Amino acid sequence: MKKWMLVIIGFYLVTGALIIFFAKSPQSEIEILSVKKTQSRLMVPGEMLTFDFYVSDPDCFFNDPDNVIAASLFDENEEITVELISVSVDNAPIIYLDKSYYSCTFSFSFTEISLPESKLEFIDGICRLTYINETEFEFPIGNLCLFFSDVSQILHLDFTRLYAVMGEYEGKEYLSGIVIGLEGFTVGNISITRIDTGISSVRIDIFEAKSLNQAVSYTEDIKNILGVETYCPIDESIFDIQAAFEINGLDLVFIPVKYTERIFDLRRFYLEIEYEYLGEFYRFVIDDFVYFQKNPFCEVAADEVSSHIYKY
């Protein structure tokens, strides 16, 4: 009798274990995408640095800032600690390779004090996030220049308008130049001697700056603007050319953007304008902004998108 009782008890234990095993919910997973960008940011005191990531589930643990215990930016030469302040989720899906993802904007502040007027450049930078369950993600963010400074106060020079002109090269859309309205508040001419974006693979080519009688369309062909038959946006020689153009009163100017090795998706950068007046050199800094908006995966090469699968 006791033997049969043990058999029955054993049967129920095995049966219960099997029921629990097969009733257990299947393992879930989320996919997180990051897209490499090349950009520069003017970091005024108190400003947040933001990155967009794209998740397959908008309500997952990844989007809760309380779950993040550490964050940093680094490349082969630099590393800086940052603090995640907030995460905002856009519930409108974005389609990439026939799958839906949701944009999550992560906003960071700097916990390490940076020297005023200093610049920090990350080449093939990484954003590292560490979560409370000790899960660690490393997201490639591309090339990033951070300039810790203030927007310049008006002294001799101001800008009245600024927008990008888009072009096409070898079948790919790219930012071919900028149109900027500059106004001088001096009795004599101001010489613009340099315009820097902080991005080492990009130069604002003031050597080919073109004065405009009226604003051109943002889709105007750069060959028409410059009055040339052929044009190549890739040119390393421009990096060694010293040039300047004059501003007298109010001027509208088109300035080409040149690339050192290849064109790429350039959307956001600041402008640091160096100018000369009465034999003295000055600086005028214009805040960064997004020059054009489009789907984040539009015309992005496959190797610029990184996928991270997390199972739980």
Question: Hey, where are the domains in the chain?
Answer: 29-150, 157-290
Give this prediction's pTM.
0.86
H-helix or E-strand containing 224?
A: helix 222-226
243 — pLDDT class (breaks 50, 70, 90): confident
Dig out the tokens for 172 from the structure: 């790919």
| Assigned CATH topology for domain 29-150 | Immunoglobulin-like (2.60.40)
Using DSSP's 3-state secondary structure scheme, residue 4 falls into helix
Q: Which two tokens stand for residue 271?
A: 């402008």
How many angstroms separate the most distant Cα atoms in the chain? 114
- C-alpha 155/C-alpha 181 separation (Å) is 16
- Tell me if 268 sits within 8 A of 40, measured CB to CB: yes
Q: Is the pLDDT of residue 245 over 90?
A: no
pLDDT digits over 68-116, tens only? 999 999 999 989 999 999 999 999 999 999 999 999 999 999 876 666 7
Which pair of structure tokens corresponds to residue 124?
A: 């093939």
Q: Are 101 and 40 in contact (CB under 8 A)?
A: no
